[in-house]
Amino acid sequence: MEKIFVAVGSTRRPKLNAVREALAIIGPKLDGSAQFEIVPLDVPSGVGHTPLSRGETMAGARGRVEEMVRIGAQTNQPWKYFVGLEGGLDIVKEENRRLVFLENWVYVADGSERGAYGQSGAVSLPEPLAKRVVDERIELSRAIDEFAGGSGIRDSHGAWGVLTCGLITRQDAFRTAIINAFAPLLNKQLYRSL
């Protein structure tokens, strides 16, 4: 059985578990006779601790992939796929109010020039939490701990879990984004121009 190595730009448990779950679903469609092995890497995103726009969050996911591709080429690694994951905020103005959404973005590349983005969907932040993160520039992981009266929330169910009463966890949101990012690689006939 061929082993396919997937470099993942994180060492955080929810992100790695999300990749494992997504690969269990999409792996057979990528290569039904292969075994997928995840290679976790602590690489920088190139963006702030809590990205404050959709563009910045997407750039963080892609930045992680670009760094892993660079490392892989320099050290002659057998990595076939690269997965960059980034959570951040999207700030929207609606009439006279500000809406702040938590989103997860993933960028996936196959080691060539071919890559694609996927998104999790979004959940709105309550204004007191948005104020701490956006206006006061407190990192979301710290702010959600304070807001929920917990500790290490991002390494368990995450802000997603707190905000959705546990119905969607950080891991769940990233899993969806990963599957969405892999869609063009799974469905090459429809995504020929990529």
Three-state DSSP class for 124? strand
- How does pLDDT run across 56-90, given as a tens digit for each residue? 999 999 999 999 999 999 999 999 999 999 999 99
Q: Is the pTM of this model over 0.85?
A: yes
Closest CA to 23 of 192, 175, 183, 154: 175
Cα gap 85→180, rounded to integer Å: 12
Coil, strand or helix at 8: strand
User: What tens digit of pLDDT does each residue of 8-65 get?
Assistant: 999 999 999 999 999 999 999 988 889 999 999 999 999 989 999 999 999 999 999 9
Q: How far is CA 2 from the centre of its chain?
A: 26
Backbone angles phi, psi at 125, to 5 degrees: -90, 140
- By the 8 A CB rule, do 85 and 68 touch? no
User: Going from the N-terminus, what domains does the chain have, and what CATH number goes with each?
Assistant: 2-186 (3.90.950.10)
Q: How many CB atoms lie within 10 A of CB 98?
A: 13
